[in-house]
Amino acid sequence: MRYISTRGGAPALTFEQAMMTGLATDGGLYVPETVPTLTTDQIAAMAGQSYEQIAFTVMRPFIGDTFTDDEFRAMIDRAYAGFGHDARAPLVQLAPNHFLLELFHGPTLAFKDFAMQLIGQMFQASLTRSGERITIVGATSGDTGSAAMEAFRGLDNVDVFILFPHGRVSEVQRRQMTTPVESNVHALAMDGDFDDCQAMLKDMFNDTAFRDGVRLAGVNSINWGRVLAQVVYYFSSAVSLGAPHREVSFTVPTGNFGDIFAGYIAKQMGLPIADLVVATNQNDILHRTLETGAYTKEGVTPSISPSMDIQVSSNFERALFYAYDGDGAAVAAQMDDLKSGGFEISQGAYQYLRDTFTSGRASEEETSSAIKTYLAKHGELLCPHSAVGVHVAEDHLGATPMITLATAHPAKFPDAVNAASGIKPPLPPRMADLYDRDERVTRVANDFDAIATLIKERIAL
Ligand X SMILES: *Cc1c(COP(=O)(O)O)cnc(C)c1O
C-beta separation of 261 from 231 below 8 A: no
**Is 251 a residue that touches ligand X (CB under 6 A)?**
no
Give whichever of 221 and 373 is closer to ligand X, judged by the CB atom: 221
From 5-13, 59-67, 192-200, 248-256, span contacting ligand X (CB under 6 A): 248-256
Report d(CA 151, CA 415) in Å as an integer: 26
Binding string to ligand X for residues 215 to 234, with x set by CB under 6 A, is what?
------x-------------
When asked if residue 263 is in the footprint of ligand X (CB under 6 A), the reply is no
Q: Count CA within 13 A, CB hemisphere, residue 167.
A: 4
Q: Would you say 300 and 307 are in contact if contact means Cβ atoms under 8 Å apart? A: no
Q: Footprint of ligand X on residues 376-415 (CB under 6 A)? A: 385, 407-408
Note whether 303 and 142 are within 8 A (CB): no
Residue 318 contacts ligand X per CB under 6 A = no
How far is residue 361's CA from residue 367's CA, in Å, rounded to a whole number?
10
Query: What three-state secondary structure class fits 31?
Result: strand
Write down the least CB distance from residue 300 to ligand X, Å: 14
If DSSP codes are grouped into helix, strand and coil, which group holds residue 377?
A: helix
> Taking the complex as a whole, how short is the minimal distance between the CB of residue 242 and ligand X, in angstroms?
26
Stretch that binds ligand X, among 21-29, 83-91, 253-261, 345-353 (CB under 6 A): 253-261
164 vs 257 by CB, closer to ligand X: 257
CB of 261 to ligand X, least distance (A): 8
- Helical H runs in 241-315? 258-268, 285-292
Cβ neighbours of residue 311 under 8 Å, at least 6 residues apart?
283, 285, 297, 298, 299, 300
Q: Determine contact, residues 196/448, Cβ cutoff 8 Å.
A: no
- Cα 345 from chain centroid? 25
Q: Which stretch binds ligand X (CB under 6 A): 21-29, 50-58, 252-260, 431-439?
A: 252-260
Centre a 10 Å sphere on the Cβ of residue 52 and count the other Cβ atoms it contains. 17
Beta bridge partners of 406: 102
- Closest Cα to residue 57, out of 367, 44, 253, 66? 44
Q: Is 424 a catalytic residue?
A: no
| List 22, 218, 258, 263, residue binding ligand X (CB under 6 A) | 258
Report the residue from 51, 257, 322, 352 that binds ligand X according to the rule CB under 6 A: 257
Catalytic residue among 112, 267, 297, 424: 112
**Touching ligand X, residues 51-80 (CB under 6 A):** none
Interface region with ligand X, contact rule CB under 6 A, candidates 14-22, 29-37, 254-262, 336-344: 254-262
CA 446 to chain centre: 26
Give the Cα separation of 326 and 339 in Å (integer).
22
> Computed over its alpha carbons, how large is the radius of gyration of the chain?
21
Give the Cα separation of 320 and 310 in Å (integer). Answer: 18
Least distance in angstroms from the C-beta of 407 to ligand X: 3
Q: Please tell me whether residue 110 binds ligand X under the rule CB under 6 A.
A: yes
Binding mask 22-51 for ligand X (x = CB under 6 A): ------------------------------
Stretch that binds ligand X, among 173-181, 186-194, 251-259, 293-301 (CB under 6 A): 251-259
Is 280 among the residues that bind ligand X (CB under 6 A)? no
Residues contacting ligand X: total by CB under 6 A: 16
Q: Is 6 in the site for ligand X (CB under 6 A)?
A: no
Q: Which span sits near ligand X by CB under 6 A: 18-26, 159-167, 250-258, 350-358?
A: 250-258
> Is residue 48 packed enough to be buried (19+ CB in 10 Å), middle (13-18) or exposed (0-12)?
exposed
Residue 307, interface with ligand X (CB under 6 A)? Answer: yes
- Is the Cβ–Cβ distance between 441 and 190 less than 8 Å? no
What is the footprint of ligand X within residues 166-225 (CB under 6 A)?
Answer: 221
- Cα–Cα distance measured from residue 369 to residue 374, given in angstroms and rounded to the nearest whole number: 8
Task: Compare residues 253 and 414 and give the one whose CB is closer to ligand X.
Answer: 253
5 vs 407, beta carbon nearer ligand X: 407
Is the Cβ of residue 170 or residue 221 nearer to ligand X in the bound state?
Answer: 221
The residues that touch ligand X, with contacts defined as CB under 6 A, are 110, 112, 143, 221, 253-259, 307-308, 385, 407-408
Q: Which residues are catalytic?
A: 112
